[in-house]
Structure 1
Amino acid sequence: MKYYIIAGEASGDLHGANLMKALQKQDTAAQFRFWGGDLMQAVSPTLVKHYRDLAFMGFLEVVMNLKTITKNLSFCKQDIEKYKPDAIIFIDYPGFNMRIAKWAKQKGLRTHYYISPQIWAWKENRIHDIKRDVDKMYVILPFEKAFYEDKHNFPVTFVGHPLIDAIADRTQVMDDSFRTKHGLSDKPIIALLPGSRKQEIRKMLAVMLSVVKDFEDYQFVIAGAPSQDYEFYSSFIKDENISFVGNKTYDLLSLSTAALVTSGTATLETALFKVPEVVCYKGSWLSYQIAKRIIKLDYISLVNLIMDKPVVTELIQDDFNSKRLKKELQSILEPEKRASLFMEYFELEKKLGGKGASAKTAALIYQDINPGALSDA
């Protein structure tokens, strides 16, 4: 079978790669063509466009890049028509993927959506487009099934969260060898996860690093995104207590005492590694003003959303400053607070379901386009 997959961000690249591996087990003749990143390309060489050329952050940034986005949409449709896939698989990235889904449905192509658009946060009216354009939806957050089925009468399948697999299947790293390889000292590590896009890294990292001088007994290590080179980060490293590790975020988290994390998938990854964290977010003034008027959530981090309570502290916009960050970081370094967070993290993991999200999704997709096939999941 021929599969066309569209992932537009780093997290989508990770989950897309694991889904492709699972599809290969289901379908030994599987062929792929995809938009994604290095991880997906390691599974199959047929990368069409890299996510680093696709991701635009915030409302203003999207408007400024409308010409590029329109060109990408047109090219994607032409590429799909030429490839003639048996199924299209969308991975999150809704602004782009929902437009392609509408076109694909009109062309009679089977549409599968893995990792739902967050319409429960904003743009809930997209449910009408999803009902019209998506044949099968596979959700990864426990509250999404009730949202779709109970509130909107649209059947979906909860497959569990793919991060459970991604973290469980990784090769364990040795503390001493990791520190030696990356030039780290023996001080406890505070990991800095400032995001994956240049514009958000610039906004986040300067504030994160502003508290370094207040925690001399720790070393701060920047987790470099796979989409960015060291040269981009080098201008931020102005203290001997600041280090950099590129494209090894999971290894870094596995050895970290605490973390400062930009809101996004990384907040959940950090929690699953049982690392106490402070969640941070700061966007452009205009983007933030628009967002706070239309997003209908009590929290921005996946940890708090899933648990439906403030498990981790969120510092948003003006609250994300040196004074507050210092206070909250001091708090998560205290034994009592850490013990409380660890217990909440274990409960969080239970809510996400067990292993096998990629395998379950791959089996369902293969059976949908090849009725009667026996699953290997």
Structure 2
Amino acid sequence: MKYYIIAGEASGDLHGANLMKELYKADPNAEIRFWGGDLMQAVGGTLVKHYRDLAFMGFAEVVANLKTIFNNIKLCKEDITAFKPDAIIFIDYPGFNMRIAQWAKQQGIPTHYYISPQIWAWKESRIKAIKRDVDKMYIILPFEKDFYEDKHSFAVEFVGHPLIDAIHNRTPTNEAAFRKEHNLDSRPVIALLPGSRKQEISKMLSGMLSVVNDFPDYQFVIAGAPSQEYDFYEPFLTNDSVHFISNKTYDLLSIAHAALVTSGTATLETALFKVPEVVCYKGGWISYQIAKRIITLKFISLVNLIMDKEVVKELIQSDFNTKNIHTELKKILDPQHRANLLKQYDELEKRLGGAGASFNTANLIVKNFNSHY
């Protein structure tokens, strides 16, 4: 069976790689062509386009790069036509993937969507396109099942959250060796996860690093994104208590005592590693003004959304300032506050349904194909 997978971000590359591993097990004759990244490429198959060439952040940047985006859509359609897949698997990345799904449905190619677009947060009107263009939807957040099935009468499969697999199946980090390799001393580590795109990294790091001198008993470590080069981060490394480690975020989180995390999937990853965190976000003024008018959620972090209450503190836009960062970081370093937070993290993991998301999804895709042919 021939599969065409489209993942447009670092998180999609991670989940796509684990899904590919399970597809090869469920279908030994699988032939896979994909848009993704280094992790998917390491599993096998043929990489068509790397996600680093697709990442445009914010409304203004998207508008400025429309020509490139439309050229990528054209390339994708042409490549799918030449490959003639038995199924297309979309992984999140809705702005691009929903366009391809509409076209693919018209071509009669079975469409599978793994990791739903977050239409419960904004653009709920996309449900019409999803019901029209997506044959099978595999969801990873428990509250999404009620959203799709009860509110919109669209059957979905809750497969569990793939981050649990990714974290539980990884090789444990040798902390002593990791500290020695990266010249970390014995002080507790505060991890800084500023995002993956240049615009957000620049905005987030300037704030996160503003409190370094307030916490001399700790060392701060920037988690470098695989899509960015060291030269980009170098101007931020002016303090002896600040270190930089690229493309080893899970190893870093496994030894971290606390973290400052840009909103996104990383907030959930940090919680699943049982690291107390403060969630941070500051976008461009135009993008933020537009977003706050169309997004009606109570929270921006997945941790709080899944728990339906404030478990981790969110510092958004003007609240993301030195004074607040200092106050909230000090709180999560307090032993009693930490203990309460870790109990909430345990409950969070239970709600996510346990391991097996990649296995469940791969086998459902293969089973669905076999039942129709």
TM-score of the superposed pair, with normalisation by structure 2: 0.99
In 2, distance between residues paired with 1:75 and 1:51?
14
Equivalent position of 1:329 in the other structure: 329
In 1, distance between residues paired with 2:280 and 2:226?
20
In 2, distance between residues paired with 1:269 and 1:367?
30
In 1, distance between residues paired with 2:98 and 2:321?
36
Secondary structure in 1 matching 2:185: coil
Q: Aligned letter for 2:83?
A: Y
Shift of 1:235: 1.0
In 2, distance between residues paired with 1:299 and 1:99?
28
In 2, distance between residues paired with 1:259 and 1:363?
36
In 2, distance between residues paired with 1:92 and 1:323?
35
Q: Aligned letter for 2:15?
A: H
Shift of 1:81: 0.2
Shift of 1:128: 0.3
Question: Within the alignment, does 1:238 sit opposite 2:238 as a pair?
Answer: yes
Q: Aligned letter for 1:173?
A: T
Equivalent position of 1:148 in the other structure: 148
Secondary structure in 1 matching 2:81: helix
Equivalent position of 1:41 in the other structure: 41
In 1, distance between residues paired with 2:265 and 2:98?
20
Q: CA RMSD in A?
A: 0.9
Q: Aligned letter for 1:297?
A: L
Secondary structure in 2 matching 1:311: coil
In 2, distance between residues paired with 1:42 and 1:370?
27
**Large movers: runs of 4+ above 6 Å:** none
Q: Aligned letter for 1:148?
A: Y
In 2, distance between residues paired with 1:169 and 1:295?
35
Secondary structure in 2 matching 1:235: helix
The answer on whether the counterparts of 2:277 and 2:312 sit within 8 Å (CA) in structure 1 is yes
With over 3 angstroms needed to count, the CA separation of the structure-2 counterparts of 1:73 and 1:245, relative to structure 1, is same
1:275-313, CA deviations, whole angstroms, 9 ceiling, x for partnerless residues? 000000011000000000000100000000000000000
In 2, distance between residues paired with 1:230 and 1:63?
28
Equivalent position of 1:369 in the other structure: 369
1:196-235 equivalences under 5 Å are 196-235=196-235
Secondary structure in 2 matching 1:274: coil
Consecutive unaligned residues in structure 1, runs of 5 or more: none
Deviating more after overlay: 298-307 vs 231-240: 231-240
Secondary structure in 2 matching 1:363: helix
In 2, distance between residues paired with 1:174 and 1:102?
47
Q: Aligned letter for 2:121?
A: A
1:1-377 equivalences under 5 Å are 1-371=1-371
Q: How many corresponding residue pairs?
A: 373
Secondary structure in 2 matching 1:371: helix
Secondary structure in 1 matching 2:349: helix
In 1, distance between residues paired with 2:43 and 2:273?
25
The answer on whether the counterparts of 2:34 and 2:45 sit within 8 Å (CA) in structure 1 is no
In 2, distance between residues paired with 1:281 and 1:318?
9
1:309-330, CA deviations, whole angstroms, 9 ceiling, x for partnerless residues? 0000000001001111011000
Shift of 1:33: 0.6
In 2, distance between residues paired with 1:320 and 1:220?
18
1:81-124, CA deviations, whole angstroms, 9 ceiling, x for partnerless residues? 00000000000000000000000000000000000000000000
In 1, distance between residues paired with 2:76 and 2:175?
44
In 2, distance between residues paired with 1:79 and 1:319?
45
Q: Aligned letter for 1:245?
A: I
Aligned-residue sequence identity (percent) comes to: 72
Shift of 1:372: 7.9
The answer on whether the counterparts of 2:4 and 2:33 sit within 8 Å (CA) in structure 1 is yes
In 2, distance between residues paired with 1:237 and 1:358?
38
In 2, distance between residues paired with 1:203 and 1:71?
29
Q: Aligned letter for 1:218?
A: Y
